[in-house]
Amino acid sequence: MNEILKSARFRLEREADWKKLEDLLNRFEKGRGSSLTDDEVIAIPVLYRSALSSLSVARAISLDNSLINYLEGLSTRAYFCVYGARTTVSERVARFFLSDWPDTVKALWVETAVSGAMTLLGAVAAYVLTLHSSQWYGAFVPEGLAGGRGPAATKAELYATLHHSHVDGLGVFATFLFTHNAQVALLAFALGFACCLPSAFLMIYQGLMLGAFVAVFATHGLGVEFGGWAAIHGTTEIFAVTLAGAAGFHIGWALAFPGSRSRLDALVDSGRRAALVMAGVVVMLAVAGLLEGFARQLVESTLWRYVIACAMLVLWCAYFYAPRRRA
């Protein structure tokens, strides 16, 4: 009985402030925050601290659980009102696409250039070696990925894979290629912490396969056609993989050379930026999947394939690197 009286007295002395805070929170949470006066806005943090004090006292003197639960809920709501995010989900998504993602990619331009250079180096090396000896093709391209598209294939067979979407196995091959590139992107990012070395290897390996494919089709006089077939989605897909490699390099470099910061602080800071880049990489891979699944199958003209590929590349470069006006 004594505990009940103590709880009732405690509630009576402070309940007016709780109710006032609850009313202000109800109005704020229902989207009527603009109707609050200046005095009411100023009162919310004051009432919030008062509610926290009441909650602390209630726990200390072991009042009834229903009162403690009420104060905990009220304090939690007030916390999000005072300290919580001021933006909606749609505003956060818009900010990600309008500034967070492109600004982060732009800041990582050195890592992106290194990642792209390694891919290009691998492609050139594989192209030259495969032209010199077709035996190198098997060393660069796994048998499951080649799918019969190797030096032994005839020109007619290779041509058919580039211009006829109904050819058996082409859809499977395209899906396998896309899945492989997505895996490379994720691994290049995830393994970046190992002082950049696995990321560098994956970027070179990606280029080796691309260069070997180009060499095989070029030896049959189909280099231009293969370029259009691959580029219509490849400018987006390879760009995405390159950015994933850049994110991995960024983490690995921060871990190896933290500067004046501790390695943990450097890793946390670089990890946040790299995670932003990878969130965008997922979007780019989705766009590449749409281009691969629809545009490449519907567009038979090599010229138009190149037009679409170049347009996508210009679009991505402008999106990431063009100067922006700031509010």
Q: What's the confidence (pLDDT) of residue 171? A: 55
pTM for the structure as a whole: 0.72
Q: What's the confidence (pLDDT) of residue 148? A: 66
Q: What's the confidence (pLDDT) of residue 2? A: 55
Q: What's the confidence (pLDDT) of residue 9? A: 76
Domain spans in the chain, listed from the N-terminal domain onward: 13-84, 92-321
Q: For 187-219, give one letter per residue: b (16+ CB within 10 A) or e.
A: bbbbbbbeebebbbebbbbbbbbbbbbbbbbbb
Residues 6+ apart with CB under 8 A from 51: 17, 18, 21, 71, 74, 75, 78
Residues 6+ apart with CB under 8 A from 269: 254, 261
Q: What's the confidence (pLDDT) of residue 14? A: 83
Count of positions (residues) in the chain? 327
Would you say the C-alpha torsion 216, 217, 220, 221 has a positive or negative sign? Answer: negative
Q: What's the confidence (pLDDT) of residue 177? A: 62
Per the structure block, which two tokens stand in for 103?
Answer: 């600004």
- The list of the chain residues with pLDDT below 50 reads 166-170
Residues 6+ apart with CB under 8 A from 205: 122, 184
Q: What's the rounded Cα separation, in Å, for the pair 3 and 219?
A: 91
Q: What's the confidence (pLDDT) of residue 167? A: 44
Q: What's the rounded Cα separation, in Å, for the pair 50 and 14?
A: 9
Residue bearing tokens 């709501």: 77
Q: What's the confidence (pLDDT) of residue 28? A: 82
